[in-house]
Amino acid sequence: MVSIADLKRISSYEWEIPVSYRADMRVPVRIFASETLLKDVTRDKSLEQAVNVCALPGLVGSVKVMPDMHQGYGFPIGGVAATRYPEGVISPGGIGYDINCGVRLLGSRISYQEGKSYLEELATALNQFCPSGVGIGGHHRLTSRDVEDVCRKGSRWAKENGFATDQDLRRTEDGGQLQGADPRFLSPRALKRGMGQVGSLGAGNHFIEIDLVSKVFDQKAARAMGLYEGDLALQIHCGSRGLGHQVCSDYVKSLQSAVIKYGIELPDRELVCAPMDSPEGEAYLAAMACAANYAFANRQVLSHYAREAFESVLAGRVKDWHLHLVYDVAHNIGKIETHQIDGNSMEVCVHRKGATRAFGPGLEELPSEYKKIGQPVLVPGSMGTSSWVLRGTSEAMARSFGSSCHGAGRVMSRTQAKKTIRGEDLLKALKKDGITIRAGSMAGLAEEAPAAYKDVDEVVETVTRAGITAKVAQLKPLVVIKG
C-alpha cells in the first residue's frame, strides 16, 4: 500500500512516486494535491492503482493523478495516462464504464431577481422535459439504424434532427463528433440499449442543475463565455447511458485474450488492454468513439429539452429566457492528441478517467472565441456546494497533458453514504439552504450527499495553485434534478 512517506514533494501542490518505487513501473506518478487532500487519498487504493497503471506498455511522460482522485476500476478516477500512438496500448479501464460522461454548461441573461420566483416551476418543468432515473428512456425511440447514425455523427445527428445550433457544435469538445467511430464494432446488446435512451439523464451522480453565477474572478474570460455575476446558468452532467456501459463491459471481457496473445504482463487484471495498432485495439477505439458520440448527442438533446422547459415557464414573463451553450467537455474518454514529451512533439492516446481536458490558449482545437483565453473547464460540485468554471493554461499543456480535475471526488462509497445519511434529512437541509431538489428516490439522494464528497473548493484551489487551470467563475446551486 502506497503511503504519504513514499511520495517525493515537488511543490506544495505536486508530488511524485518515482519509478524506483516498484520494479515494473515504466514511468513515475505525478499527483496534484494539497497536503489536506493527500490525507483522503490513503483511505482507498487510488495511489496503488496509479502505480499499477505505470506498468502499461507504451506509456510516456508520467501518469497524472488529479486532486479529486479516488478508487476506480483498474485506473483511479482522476487518472490521466498517455501511451505512444499507435503502438502503445489502449485500456478500457482508463476511460471507464460511462464513456464520455461529461458536463455541459449553458449560460443566460436571466438575472436571479428576474428568475427567483419561477425556480419551483422551472424545477418541475425540467423534471418533466428531461427524463431521469435508472433505465429510464428519453423522448425518442430509435431504430438500430438510427442508433448507428447517432454513434457515427454525435452532435451532428442532433443538429440534423433539429436539436442543435451551429454554435452548440462549435462549443462542444471535438465539435461533438469523435472521429473513427464505427458501429460495426458494437455488439447487438449495446445497440439495443441505445435505442431508447437518447435525451435521458440516468441516475447516480448525474444531474441537471440551475445555478447562480455567484462570483466572477476573470471578467475577460467570463464575458467571452457569456457569464455574468448575478445571472442564472444551467449544468447538465451525464454520459453514454447503457450503450457506453455495454461497450466497456464487452471489451473488458474480450480484451482478456488480447493480453495473453500479445504477452502483456499486468499487475491487475482490471488493466486489461491491447496495442492500438492491433485488431483488438482498433475495434475498441472504434466502439469507444461510438459511445462518446452517443453521449455528445445525448447531452445535446437534453439541452434542447431544457431550453423548451425554460421557454414553457419563462416565455412572456422575462425579457430573455434563452440559454446559450458555454461549453461541453468530456471527462471519461480516450483521445489521440499531440503533446510535447521531453521536448519532442509526439502523437499519443490520452486516457482521461474522471479528468477534464484543459487546453491552454492558442490551440487550433478551440473555438475562435476561446483561443485567447483557453478552454473552459467545468468542475461540478455536489448538490449543496459550489461548482466552478475554470480555463485551461499553457502550464496544463506542459505538465498534465492538457488535463485537470473533473469534480469533487468521493470520500464515501455509495453504500456507506446510504448507511450514514438519510435522504429525508438531507432533503430538509438542502431546502433550508434554499436549494430546490427533484429526486427519483431518497436512497439515491443520500448516495450523492455533499458529505460523501471532498471539498470541491479545495480541489479547485489545488489545480489553480498548481497552475494547470485559472478561475473564471463560481456557481451556486439553486435547483437540482436527480434520477
SS3 313: helix
Q: How far is CA 305 from the centre of its chain?
A: 21
What the block records as the C-alpha cell of 60 is 510516456
Tally of CB atoms within 10 A around 44 = 17
pLDDT of residue 84: 98
What the block records as the C-alpha cell of 390 is 475554470
Strand partners of residue 436: 479
Cα atoms found within 13 Å of the Cα of residue 313, Cβ hemisphere only:
24
Residue-range definition of the domain harbouring residue 266: 4-411+453-482
Kindly provide the b/e burial profile for residues 319-356, where b requires at least 16 CB atoms within 10 angstroms of the residue's own CB. Answer: eebebbbbbbbbbbbbbbbebebeeeebebbbbbbbbb
Name the residue among 478, 310, 471, 321 with its Cα closest to residue 404.
471
Q: Is residue 192 part of a domain?
A: yes
User: Which are the contacts of 141, defined by CB distance < 8 A and separation ≥ 6?
Assistant: 195, 196
Q: Is residue 156 part of a domain?
A: yes
pLDDT of residue 141: 86
pLDDT digits (tens, 9 = 90+) for 362-409: 999 999 999 999 999 999 999 889 999 999 999 999 999 999 999 999
pLDDT of residue 134: 76
CATH code of 18's domain: 3.90.1860.10
pLDDT of residue 1: 85
Which member of 237, 339, 351, 406 is catalytic? 406
Q: Is residue 141 part of a domain?
A: yes
Q: Is residue 437 part of a domain?
A: no
pLDDT by residue for the chain (483 residues), tens digit each? 888 889 999 999 999 999 999 999 999 999 999 999 998 787 899 999 999 999 999 999 999 999 999 999 999 999 999 999 999 999 999 999 999 999 999 999 999 999 999 999 999 999 999 988 777 777 878 999 999 999 999 999 999 999 999 999 999 999 999 999 999 999 999 999 999 999 999 988 999 999 999 999 999 999 999 999 999 999 999 999 999 999 999 999 999 999 999 999 999 999 999 999 999 999 999 999 999 999 999 999 999 999 999 999 999 999 999 999 999 999 999 999 999 999 999 999 999 999 999 999 999 999 999 999 999 999 999 988 999 999 999 999 999 999 999 999 998 888 998 899 999 999 999 999 999 999 888 988 999 989 999 999 999 999 999 999 999 999 999 999 997
Cα atoms found within 13 Å of the Cα of residue 290, Cβ hemisphere only:
27
Q: Is residue 457 part of a domain?
A: yes
CB 349 within 8 A of CB 61: no
| The one-letter amino acid at 263 | G
SS3 content of the chain, % helix, strand, coil (to 5): 40, 25, 35
pLDDT of residue 214: 98
Q: Is residue 417 part of a domain?
A: no
pLDDT of residue 440: 84
pLDDT of residue 473: 98
Q: Is residue 371 part of a domain?
A: yes
Q: Cα-flanking dihedrals φ and ψ of residue 167, to 5°?
A: -65, -40
pLDDT of residue 300: 98
pLDDT digits (tens, 9 = 90+) for 32-84: 999 999 987 878 999 999 999 999 999 999 999 999 999 999 999 999 999 99
Q: Rounded distance, CA 193 to CA 202, Å?
A: 13
Total tally of structural domains belonging to the chain: 1
406 catalytically annotated: yes
Q: Is residue 135 part of a domain?
A: yes
Cβ-in-10-Å burial (0-12, 13-18, 19+) of 215 comes to middle
Cα–Cα distances (Å) from 155 to 79, 160, 302, in that order, read 26, 9, 11
User: Which are the contacts of 116, defined by CB distance < 8 A and separation ≥ 6?
Assistant: none
pLDDT of residue 456: 97
Strand-pair category, 207-216 with 332-341: unpaired
What the block records as the C-alpha cell of 40 is 483522503
